[in-house]
Amino acid sequence: MSVATARPAAGERRRRMPGAEGIWVLIAGDLAIFSLLFLSFLLDRNDDPATFEQGRQALHLDQGGINTLLLLTGSWCVVRALRAARAGDAVRAQRWLAGGVAGGAAFAVSKVVEYLREVDAGHTSTTSDFFMYYFSITGLHLVHVVVGTAILAGFLLAWRRRGVGSGLVAFESGALYWHVVDLLWIVIFPLLYVVR
Amino acid sequence: MAIDTPPRVVLDDAPDPVPAAPAPRSARTAASTDYRILRVANWSVVVYCTLGLLGFAVFGGFWPPPAEHLTAPQISDYFRDHQTDLRVGMVMMAAGAPFYMVWSAVISAIIKRIEGPLGVLSRVQLLGGLLTGIVTMVPPTIWITAAFRADVRPDETIQMLYDFGWFFFDLTFACSVIQNVALGTAILVDRREVPLFPRWVGWLAFFVAVEYVPLVLVPMFTDGPFAWHGLISFWGVFVMFFVLIAVVMPMAFRALRRLETEDAAEAAA
Alpha-carbon distance values, B210 to A25, A85, B122 (Å): 12, 29, 20
pLDDT at B268 over 80: yes
With CB atoms and an 8 Å threshold, state whether B199 touches A20: yes
What residues in chain A have per-residue pLDDT under 70?
Answer: 1-15
Q: Would you call the peptide bond into B17 cis, given omega within 30 degrees of 0 as the criterion?
A: no
pLDDT of residue A3: 41
Residue A165 lies inside a defined structural domain of this protein:
yes
pLDDT at B160 over 70: yes
- CA dist., res. B164 & res. B169, Å (int): 8
User: Hey, of A25, A133, A177, which one would you mutate to test binding to chain B, going by the most B CBs within 10 A of its CB?
Assistant: A25
pLDDT of residue A53: 94
CA atoms within 13 A on the CB side of A170: 12
With CB atoms and an 8 Å threshold, state whether B231 touches A36: yes
Show the domain range for A188. 22-194
At A54-87, the pLDDT tens digits run 999 999 999 999 999 999 999 999 999 999 999 9
CATH number of the domain that residue A125 is part of:
1.20.120.80
pLDDT of residue A15: 65
Distance from CA of A141 to the nearest CA of B (A): 11
B219 in A contact zone (CB under 8 Å): no
Residue A85 lies inside a defined structural domain of this protein:
yes
Domain limits, chain B: 36-268
B61 in A contact zone (CB under 8 Å): no
- CA dist., res. A44 & res. A126, Å (int): 15
Distance from CA of B11 to the nearest CA of A (A): 37
Q: To the nearest whole number, what is the mean pLDDT of chain A?
A: 89
B19-24 mean pLDDT: 48
- pLDDT band for position B8 (50/70/90)? very low
At B206-243, the pLDDT tens digits run 999 999 999 999 999 999 999 999 999 999 999 999 99
pLDDT of residue B14: 46
Report which of residues B14 and B61 the model is more confident about.
B61
pLDDT at B5 over 60: no
- CA dist., res. B42 & res. B106, Å (int): 6
Q: Which residues of B touch A140 (CB under 8 A)?
A: 214
A40 in B contact zone (CB under 8 Å): yes
How many domains does chain A divide into?
1
DSSP letters spanning chain A: -HHHHH-GGG-SSPP--SSSTTHHHHHHHHHHHHHHHHHHHHHHHHH-HHHHHHHHHHS-HHHHHHHHHHHHHHHHHHHHHHHHHHTT-HHHHHHHHHHHHHHHHHHHHHHHHHHHHHHHTT--TTT-HHHHHHHHHHHHHHHHHHHHHHHHHHHHHHHHHH-SSS-HHHHHHHHHHHHHHHHHHHHHIIIIII--
- CA dist., res. A39 & res. A33, Å (int): 10
pLDDT of residue A166: 72
